[in-house]
């Protein structure tokens, strides 16, 4: 590696360390500002009558993975839905060129996480520009584990949402949390997402509780229109987070704003007509979440991957926790322990 290359690597490592220290400092501040643990709400907005589906806090496997399985893979779905430690799964969705929802976190295929099955090099391609048959015939991927930023498991063909539903409907009490990766110029439109996912839910005759997360308030209105006769829990990202962005920076800035404007998260979700806000652990101040719960608005948090983050999420009354921690490593912290 050249001297310039080594310098670039050092700068990247330093930037990541600074971002991490910012996050840790905000976590400590949020923890210090918690005068008493908040109690989660019951998940009254779900479309299930199952008592287990309404228990809170609810733990969902990030990218459906309960441990060593690749994120957003069929192996992860099969392992996690049969795991009693999890209440459901969170998966990321992107639409192909022929409007097939596939499980993928980023709106593109590139050599960082994917490869051609024939071993040939390729340039980055947007998923919206390639049909599902070609996508699965040509490429296979493995996605980064958010906890340690390493690829888990082996390469696999991207799977469709309908394939995931075929297995999930045999576990009707498990929550299915669909994170729609909608990004201007990079993906298909929110209208196309909503129409296709509605069609998939009806065709599969899914009875699981369904949560759908979108990045913008305007997308919530599209969900309301498309799902007028199908009960879902509408989730708004707070803040909106897009592929390629540094969530530490986005989350840290949003966290600071909630200390100055603690009512802004509530006004944002009520203006949008959403049932829930989903945020990184550090984004919400204690008083902001208290205001949400007072108005019966659900609060969720993701990338909870340390005992400290778990403690903060639970003390702040998180109703849904999306985690990368495997059940065997979960800390002995839960709402039941506090009662």
Q: Which domains does the chain have, with CATH numbers?
A: 3-104+159-338 (3.20.20.190)
- C-beta separation of 57 from 46 below 8 A: no
173 to 9, 169, 195, 333, 337: CA distances (angstroms)? 46, 9, 24, 23, 23
Q: How far apart are CA 229 and CA 267, in angstroms?
A: 26
What are the helix (H) ranges across the chain? 3-32, 51-54, 74-81, 132-138, 161-168, 190-204, 217-226, 247-260, 264-272, 286-294, 307-315, 335-338
Per-residue pLDDT of the chain (339 residues; tens, 9 = 90+): 455 544 444 544 455 555 555 555 555 555 445 456 788 887 654 544 444 445 568 999 999 987 778 889 999 999 999 888 899 999 999 999 999 999 998 999 999 889 999 999 999 999 999 999 999 999 999 876 655 445 456 789 999 999 999 999 999 999 999 999 999 999 999 999 999 999 999 999 999 999 999 999 999 999 999 999 999 999 999 988 887 777 677 777 777 788 888 899 999 999 999 999 999 866 788 889 999 999 999 999 987 877 778 878 888 889 999 988 765 565 554 444 433
pLDDT at site 26: 56
pLDDT at site 339: 38
pLDDT at site 312: 82
3-class secondary structure, 122: coil
Task: Find the helix or strand (DSSP H, E) in which 93 lies.
Answer: strand 88-95
pLDDT at site 243: 79
Full 3-state SS string of 225-243: HHCCCCCCEEEEECCCCCC
pLDDT at site 158: 95
Q: How far apart are CA 48 and CA 63, in angstroms?
A: 22
3-class secondary structure, 126: strand
pLDDT at site 50: 46
Neighbours of 51 (CB within 10 A): 9
- C-beta separation of 227 from 198 below 8 A: yes
Backbone angles phi, psi at 7, to 5 degrees: -65, -40
Q: How far apart are CA 46 and CA 50, in angstroms?
A: 9
């Amino acid at each position: 590696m050249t001297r310039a290359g080594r310098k670039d690597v050092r700068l990247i490592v330093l930037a990541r360390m600074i971002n991490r220290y910012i996050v840790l400092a905000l976590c400590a501040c949020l923890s210090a500002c918690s005068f008493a643990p908040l109690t989660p709400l019951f998940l009254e907005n779900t479309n299930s009558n199952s008592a287990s589906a309404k228990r809170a806090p609810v733990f969902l496997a990030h990218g459906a993975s309960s441990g060593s399985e690749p994120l957003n893979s069929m192996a992860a779905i099969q392992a996690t839905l049969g795991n009693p430690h999890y209440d459901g799964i969170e998966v990321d969705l992107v639409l192909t060129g022929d409007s097939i929802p596939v499980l993928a976190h980023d709106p593109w295929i590139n050599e960082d996480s994917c490869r051609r099955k024939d071993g040939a090099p390729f340039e980055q391609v947007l998923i919206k520009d390639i049909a599902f048959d070609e996508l699965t015939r040509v490429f296979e991927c493995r996605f980064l584990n958010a906890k340690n930023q390493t690829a888990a498991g082996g390469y696999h063909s991207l799977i469709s949402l309908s394939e995931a539903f075929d297995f999930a409907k045999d576990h009707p009490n498990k929550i299915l949390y669909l994170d729609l990766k909608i990004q201007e110029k990079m993906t298909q439109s929110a209208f196309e997402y909503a129409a296709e996912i509605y069609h998939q839910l009806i065709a599969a005759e899914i009875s699981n509780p369904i949560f759908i997360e979108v990045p913008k308030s305007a997308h919530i209105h599209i969900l309301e229109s498309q799902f007028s006769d199908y009960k879902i829990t509408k989730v708004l990202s707070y803040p909106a987070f897009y592929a390629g962005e540094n969530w530490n920076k986005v989350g840290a800035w949003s966290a600071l704003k909630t200390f100055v404007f603690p009512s802004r998260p509530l006004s944002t979700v009520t203006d949008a007509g959403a049932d829930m806000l989903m945020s990184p652990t550090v984004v919400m101040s204690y008083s902001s979440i208290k205001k949400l719960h007072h108005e019966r608005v659900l609060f969720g948090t993701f990338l909870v991957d340390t005992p400290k983050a778990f403690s903060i999420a639970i003390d702040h009354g998180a109703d849904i926790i999306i985690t990368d921690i495997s059940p065997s490593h979960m800390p002995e912290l839960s709402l039941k322990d506090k009662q």
